Structures are given as structure tokens and as C-alpha cells.
Amino acid sequence: MPYDPPRSLSPSKLSAFRNCALAFRFTAIERLHDPSTVATVKGTLVHTALEQLFWNHPQGGRSQSAASAELDRAWVALQEDDDFRSLALRGDDADAFRSDAGQLVANYFLLEDPDEITPVGIELLLEARLGDVLLRGILDRLDRTPDGELVVIDYKTGKAPPPAYQQSRLTGVQLYALLCQEVLGQRPVQVKLLHLKEPTVITAEPSAHGLQGQRTKTEAVWTAIEQACRDEDFQPKTGPLCRFCRFQEFCPAFGGDPSLAAVTMGVPDRGAA
């Protein structure tokens, strides 16, 4: 097989392949370096603060000031982080970055009261084999309701999608629900996207039928990936995401040569494994 398929499939890789097979080849197969952006690093900082809020503070102690203290600690640690350093933020830009992160953490408290939450997993890695594919995902948080039901929580620091796109954005968390069902033997009653920017919550209730559909689609995408690897055929799919694509100069849809990407961009991104 000319290209080796990835060892596993995550919800983000799955959606990357569906968005554009060629961009997927660059990131998930050739593992070309994926530079950090202000948005991704800020997202990591906010996720860390909320993760530590639940790790370090029992119910009754998860106050806004506790979250601020966790954000302060995460901000200090971030100064030594290579991804953050690569942004080279100085002065007002660094202040704006820190201030935005503080606002996102403060907004979290408008969406739920963490003292009422019983998490059973934070940054929970789940893996399940579905046919030929190893599906792998890290849940931001998995909660247990007073009735013993499971709820999957995903924090989002980017802009919430307009209503027409909300259900498609839930596909990733539906896959987390599928992982819970496969690994823990229990289908979550809800999956929730906590959009911290607006702030707003988008909720879905996974059905047995819906999860079976997700399973079928996942297996079909995996078959398509294996086929694309065998045939060395990863077609570009133009759309709104092209505007943000760092591989545009190597994309035939924009007059580029894909074979030059690995030579020009060099270092594989080990984090993409």
C-alpha cells in the first residue's frame, strides 16, 4: 500500500477527511507540521484551567475565584510552552490573549454551576474497535447525573455555529457518545457543546438508531481512507475552509503540486500521530 493509513481514527480526523481528503493526507498521513494559532493555544489554556478546576477542587469549592487561580497557574506554565512561544505575542497582543482567556473562563459560569456537577472523567481517553477501525477520542468531561445517566461535555472556545450548522457540529460529540456506549456499555442521555464565547449550550440526545448510523458512517469513512491510501488518491474538496488552509500553495485546485508539500514543509508533526 503506497500510503499507510493512520493507526486510529479520531472524531477530528474523521471530519478532516470528510471536509477535504487532500488536506487530510497532508496532516494525518504525511503528518506535516501544523503550526499553532492564537485560537488553538488559547483554547488549550482555557481547557487546562477548567480541567484543573475539576481535578483540584471538590464539589462546593469550584468557585469563580478558584477557576481564576487555575487560569493564573496555567498562564504561568504556558510561558514555557513551545506552541505559545511560537506565537511570539508581545505587549498588547499578549494582554489581549490573557484577557480573552479570562473572559471565556468567566463565561463558563454563566452556562452551568460546577458545584452541581459530578464528573466521572476529565480528559477521558476512550478507544473502541469498530470492525476494522480503531476509534479513539478524548472527552473533555463525562458527567454522571443524579439518576445515574451519563452526559458528554465538550468545551468550545471558538464561535458557535449558526443554527443551520449546529447538528453537523455535533457529529464529533456523537462519536464520543458512541465510544461511551462501546467502552462503558452505557449510551449517554445527552451530549453538550459548551460554547464559552457567546456563551451558549448546544445539546443533542443520542438515540440507539443515531449511534448505529454514526458507527456505519465511521466504518464507511475508514474504508474510503484505506482505499485512498491504496490508490494514492486524495482529492481536494474546495469550500469555505480553503481560506484557512495552510496547504493552499500545494493544492491542485489552486494551481499547486501536492508532491512538493512534504519537501517544502519538512518536519513531520509527531503530535498528529
Contacts to ligand SF4 by CB under 6 A: 20, 22-23, 236-238, 241-242, 245, 247-248, 251, 253-254
Please give the sequence-ordered ranges of beta strands (E in DSSP) within 93-199, or none if there are none: 119-130, 133-144, 150-156, 190-195
Strand 133-144 to 119-130 pairing: antiparallel
Q: Among residues 17 and 97, whose Cβ is nearest to ligand SF4?
A: 17
Cα distances from 102 to residues 60, 95, 99, 196, in angstroms, run 21, 11, 5, 11
Q: Among residues 135 and 245, whose Cβ is nearest to ligand SF4?
A: 245
∠ CA 230-232-234, nearest 5°, is 115
Q: How far is the CB of 167 from ligand SF4 (least distance, A)?
A: 22
Q: Among residues 131 and 239, whose Cβ is nearest to ligand SF4?
A: 239
* Cα–Cα distance for residue pair 251/32, rounded to 1 Å: 14
* Cα–Cα distance for residue pair 234/20, rounded to 1 Å: 8
Q: Among residues 207 and 238, whose Cβ is nearest to ligand SF4?
A: 238
Please, what sign has the CA dihedral across residues 85, 138, 31, 25? negative
* Cα–Cα distance for residue pair 172/221, rounded to 1 Å: 14
Q: How far is the CB of 229 from ligand SF4 (least distance, A)?
A: 17
Read off φ and ψ for residue 6, nearest 5 degrees: -60, 155
* Cα–Cα distance for residue pair 140/146, rounded to 1 Å: 20
Q: How far is the CB of 192 from ligand SF4 (least distance, A)?
A: 29
Q: How far is the CB of 154 from ligand SF4 (least distance, A)?
A: 23
Q: Among residues 161 and 256, whose Cβ is nearest to ligand SF4?
A: 256
Q: How far is the CB of 260 from ligand SF4 (least distance, A)?
A: 13
Q: How far is the CB of 243 from ligand SF4 (least distance, A)?
A: 8
Q: Among residues 116 and 257, whose Cβ is nearest to ligand SF4?
A: 257
Q: Among residues 54 and 247, whose Cβ is nearest to ligand SF4?
A: 247
Strand 190-195 to 150-156 pairing: parallel
Provide the edge-to-edge strand list for the sheet that holds 190-195. Answer: 119-130, 133-144, 150-156, 190-195, 200-204
Q: How far is the CB of 248 from ligand SF4 (least distance, A)?
A: 4
